[in-house]
Structure 1
Amino acid sequence: MTTLTKQIHIASVGRPAYSQTFPCEPSTAEIGRQLLRDVLGIWRLDSLVDHALLIVTELIANAARHTPCHKIRLIVELPSPTRLRVGVLDRAPTRLPAFSRTDDDDESGRGLLLINAVADRWGYDMHSSGTGPWGKEVWAELRIKDGA
Structure 2
Amino acid sequence: MIGAMADAAVSAAVGLPSYRSNYLARDTAPGKARRGVALALNTWGLEQLADTAELLVSELVTNAVVHTDSRTVGVVVIRTSETAVRIMVLDTDRAEMSLPACPSGDEESGRGLFLVATLADRWDIERVSTGKRIWCELDTKKVQP
| TM-score range for the pair, normalised by the shorter chain length | 0.7 to 0.9
Letter matched to residue 141 of structure 1? E
The residue aligned with 2:36 is: 35
113, 138, 145: which is aligned to 1:142?
Answer: 138
The alpha carbon displacement at 1:65 in A equals 1.4
Distance change (3 Å), C-alpha of 1:97 and 1:55:
farther
Determine if contact 1:9/1:20 at 8 Å carries over to the other structure. Answer: yes
Gaps of 5+ in 2: 1-6
Alpha-carbon distance in structure 1 between the residues aligned to 2:58 and 2:18: 19
Gaps of 5+ in 1: 1-5, 129-133
The residue aligned with 2:3 is: none
Letter matched to residue 136 of structure 2? A
CA-to-aligned-CA distance 1:21-80 (integer Å, 9 cap, x gap): 101123211111111111111001011112101101100111011111010111111111
Q: Which runs of 4+ in 1 moved over 3 A?
A: none
| Of 25-34 and 94-103, the range deviating more from structure 2 | 94-103
The alpha carbon displacement at 1:99 in A equals 2.1
Letter matched to residue 99 of structure 1? P
TM-score scaled by structure 1? 0.85
5 Å matches for 1:1-148?
A: 8-96=9-97, 98-128=99-129, 134-145=130-141, 147-148=144-145
Distance change (3 Å), C-alpha of 1:78 and 1:123:
same
Determine if contact 2:61/2:89 at 8 Å carries over to the other structure. Answer: yes
TM-score scaled by structure 2? 0.87
Alpha-carbon distance in structure 1 between the residues aligned to 2:99 and 2:123: 12
Determine if contact 2:37/2:77 at 8 Å carries over to the other structure. Answer: yes
